[in-house]
Chains A and B, each alone.
Chain A
């Protein structure tokens, strides 16, 4: 399946200033150096893929973008303004929405309540301000359907959903709330073929709407299908950023795995990887 022919990549706006810019981010957990100076930026209307092996620091890095971790060193600017998020809530208010690798869902709560968790719409005024339950249910059902999943009922507990359905709720939620930047940490790891291409199409759609997308994946084909730029992380450092067209899938694959060993493995497996 040649996914990369599905989407048109406009010239990624080369000289537009980045909406989100991370400079020399370091993150230490005690004596563990998870990030040793990573710089990265994303512009409105582009999809910037972040690639790297397990433990490279991808999740840690995007968590500093979304306000979960405070970077030990380095600066974050949004639209030119320096930011210092002290909670994910603040990052959200700045228009950043994230699909976390662990999805950040509460199994005991309904799909709708999970969808709007932290950003519930209300109706009424003053002390009579209450949840707008009908609207919440309707939006949830609509957006899940758009992603190719027909929910049985919006009040179904998330714990009863399949892994892929859960992932789809998390993606739909982030897309709905990602006003300026949408971060997806391996959003397709549990998805079937149809849902995966749905997610890739969704990334393409929100990018066209002018949102900056940060897309983390282990799958180079998926990254090549939608990415405008590619940054490879390895052991807490960037190996460099390439534009679309400047790099082939094979080269990316090799960079991710540290070149040599991958080539050998490929040989012994008969080129199936």
Chain B
């Protein structure tokens, strides 16, 4: 069969260059942006930025944002928004903190509890959106406030009036699950790398970088899994279809409700994972955790090539969108520029990304 396909040469098919084919990939813009931003900082920033510890220094916030951005991107490809994932970080932080400190639960119970509460709230968000047909924008905006407020009230209850819940580090100390969610991973590898001289060491011989912060590992793994699901599974096809045209997808047999509600649950769980990691890292939780992160996550997803109208985008793109974000936030401190350029830069990136995506969409759909 493949042979006949090749025999029939279509005279109306121009040879497509590599460039045109690349242009059709949604993540192209973000990768190009990443290269540009890297070049910019290579040129302007102190050399320390691109040493191993410098890189991990901006990768860590990038990963914390990136996990949210992947959740936001998947949801956007599925045609919906969730403005409550930032507040979800605070709320899940409260559930987790109260679980380990107030209730004294071990991680093996506290973590599933946190994820289940988050998934439940995601499902509520999704069900309201789908039942009423209201824009997810407005429904999740309500939850942005509800969850933020509930976090404040809950924290006061759990900590007798303060808005910060402490003592989490002591509570999880020694728990066998803790290394999965806190500290550095791949420690032995770095000791070995230091031994063979690939990683700088302090004078006593311990490596200057003791491992990769776990959030970076989580970020990479979640990106890879999300990409696989999107491109290589039926569920991924359903995500694109549900976001592209809800009615057409449903009429073609795609279980649109199930797909969208799962995506809301996934995005909320991304918020919960960030909460668990950052709360364990800080040893305490407070009500401002995740503040404004929903917008940053959506911006990273858009820089990553997601269309605001749904049905198009990629997890790899969101990955690079988050990297750009982390690089710019931290990178400016390595330069002579005023740090407050950050927001100007961000707005500029967002604008360019949206214009670029719009142009790409017209090319892909051949809008006439």
Q: Please pick, from A109, A145, A152, the residue contacting B240 in the complex, using a CB distance under 8 A.
A: A109
Binding site for B on A (CB under 8 A): 66, 68, 87-89, 92, 98, 100, 102-109, 113-114, 116-120, 122, 129-131, 133, 138, 141-142, 145, 150, 152-153, 157, 159-161
In whole angstroms, how far apart are the Cα atoms of A47 and B361 in the complex? 40
Least CB distance from A142 to B in Å reads 7
Least CB distance from A227 to B in Å reads 25
Please judge, given known A-B contacts A105-B248, A138-B2, whether A117 and B233 are in contact too, CB under 8 Å. Answer: no
In whole angstroms, how far apart are the Cα atoms of A88 and B257 in the complex? 13
Binding site for A on B (CB under 8 A): 1-2, 5, 8, 10, 12-13, 228, 232-234, 236-238, 240-241, 244-245, 247-255, 307, 311-312, 361, 364-367
Flag if A122 contacts B361 (CB, 8 Å): no
Flag if A152 contacts B232 (CB, 8 Å): no
Flag if A89 contacts B240 (CB, 8 Å): no
Flag if A120 contacts B251 (CB, 8 Å): no
Cross-chain pairs A/B with CB under 8 angstroms, 5 sampled? A87-B253, A88-B252, A107-B365, A150-B10, A159-B364
Q: Please pick, from B8, B233, B250, the residue contacting A131 in the complex, using a CB distance under 8 A.
A: B233
Flag if B366 contacts A120 (CB, 8 Å): no
In whole angstroms, how far apart are the Cα atoms of A104 and B245 in the complex? 8
Please judge, given known A-B contacts A104-B248, A107-B244, A159-B365, whether A129 and B233 are in contact too, CB under 8 Å. Answer: yes
Least CB distance from B367 to A in Å reads 7
Flag if A159 contacts B366 (CB, 8 Å): yes
Flag if A117 contacts B365 (CB, 8 Å): no
List, in ascending order, chain A residues with CB within 8 A of B244's CB: 106-109
List, in ascending order, chain B residues with CB within 8 A of A133's CB: 232
Flag if B253 contacts A92 (CB, 8 Å): yes
Please judge, given known A-B contacts A105-B248, A108-B361, whether A87 and B2 are in contact too, CB under 8 Å. Answer: no
Please judge, given known A-B contacts A108-B240, A117-B237, whether A130 and B232 are in contact too, CB under 8 Å. Answer: yes
List, in ascending order, chain A residues with CB within 8 A of B252's CB: 88, 104, 114, 117-118
List, in ascending order, chain B residues with CB within 8 A of A87's CB: 250, 253, 255
List, in ascending order, chain B residues with CB within 8 A of A129's CB: 233
Least CB distance from B121 to A in Å reads 26
Give the secondary structure class of B's interface: helix
Flag if B232 contacts A106 (CB, 8 Å): no
Which chain B residue has the least Cβ–Cβ distance from A130?
B232
List, in ascending order, chain B residues with CB within 8 A of A100's CB: 251
Q: Please pick, from A108, A118, A119, the residue contacting B311 in the complex, using a CB distance under 8 A.
A: A108
Which chain A residue has the least Cβ–Cβ distance from B2?
A138
Flag if A118 contacts B240 (CB, 8 Å): no
Flag if B241 contacts A118 (CB, 8 Å): yes
Give the secondary structure class of A's interface: loop
In whole angstroms, how far apart are the Cα atoms of A23 and B253 in the complex? 24
Flag if B364 contacts A157 (CB, 8 Å): yes
Flag if A102 contacts B255 (CB, 8 Å): no
List, in ascending order, chain A residues with CB within 8 A of B247's CB: 104
Which chain A residue has the least Cβ–Cβ distance from B361?
A108
Least CB distance from B138 to A in Å reads 24
Flag if A160 contacts B366 (CB, 8 Å): yes
List, in ascending order, chain B residues with CB within 8 A of A150's CB: 8, 10
Least CB distance from B309 to A in Å reads 9
Least CB distance from B362 to A in Å reads 9
In whole angstroms, how far apart are the Cα atoms of A104 and B246 in the complex? 9
Least CB distance from A236 to B in Å reads 22
List, in ascending order, chain B residues with CB within 8 A of A159's CB: 364-367
Least CB distance from A100 to B in Å reads 6
In whole angstroms, how far apart are the Cα atoms of A138 and B307 in the complex? 29
Flag if B232 contacts A131 (CB, 8 Å): yes
List, in ascending order, chain A residues with CB within 8 A of B365's CB: 107-108, 157, 159-160
Among B13, B228, B244, B251, find the residue whose CB has the most chain A CB atoms closer than 10 A.
B251
Flag if A89 contacts B253 (CB, 8 Å): yes
List, in ascending order, chain A residues with CB within 8 A of B12's CB: 152
Least CB distance from B66 to A in Å reads 24
Which chain A residue has the least Cβ–Cβ distance from B242?
A106
In whole angstroms, how far apart are the Cα atoms of A25 and B173 in the complex? 67
List 4 tightest A-B contacts by C-beta distance, closest first: A159-B365, A118-B253, A160-B366, A106-B244
In whole angstroms, how far apart are the Cα atoms of A87 and B8 in the complex? 40
Please judge, given known A-B contacts A102-B248, A108-B311, whether A120 and B10 are in contact too, CB under 8 Å. Answer: no
Flag if A131 contacts B311 (CB, 8 Å): no
Least CB distance from B163 to A in Å reads 42
Among A118, A120, A152, find the residue whose CB has the most chain B CB atoms closer than 10 A.
A118
In whole angstroms, how far apart are the Cα atoms of A244 and B118 in the complex? 62
Flag if B245 contacts A106 (CB, 8 Å): yes
Least CB distance from B7 to A in Å reads 11
Flag if B234 contacts A88 (CB, 8 Å): no
Least CB distance from A101 to B in Å reads 11
In whole angstroms, how far apart are the Cα atoms of A133 and B255 in the complex? 21
Among A88, A106, A122, find the residue whose CB has the most chain B CB atoms closer than 10 A.
A106
Please judge, given known A-B contacts A89-B255, A138-B2, A157-B364, whether A152 and B13 are in contact too, CB under 8 Å. Answer: yes
Flag if A138 contacts B1 (CB, 8 Å): yes
Flag if B234 contacts A98 (CB, 8 Å): no
Flag if B253 contacts A106 (CB, 8 Å): no
Known: A118-B253, A159-B367. 16 other contacts (CB 8 A): A68-B251, A87-B253, A88-B250, A88-B251, A103-B248, A104-B247, A105-B248, A106-B248, A106-B311, A108-B312, A114-B252, A120-B237, A130-B232, A131-B232, A138-B5, A161-B366
In whole angstroms, how far apart are the Cα atoms of A102 and B307 in the complex? 23
In whole angstroms, how far apart are the Cα atoms of A102 and B365 in the complex? 17
Please judge, given known A-B contacts A118-B249, A152-B13, whether A142 and B1 are in contact too, CB under 8 Å. Answer: yes
Flag if B250 contacts A109 (CB, 8 Å): no
In whole angstroms, how far apart are the Cα atoms of A209 and B293 in the complex? 58
List, in ascending order, chain B residues with CB within 8 A of A131's CB: 232-234, 236-237
Q: Please pick, from B236, B237, B364, the residue contacting A108 in the complex, using a CB distance under 8 A.
A: B364
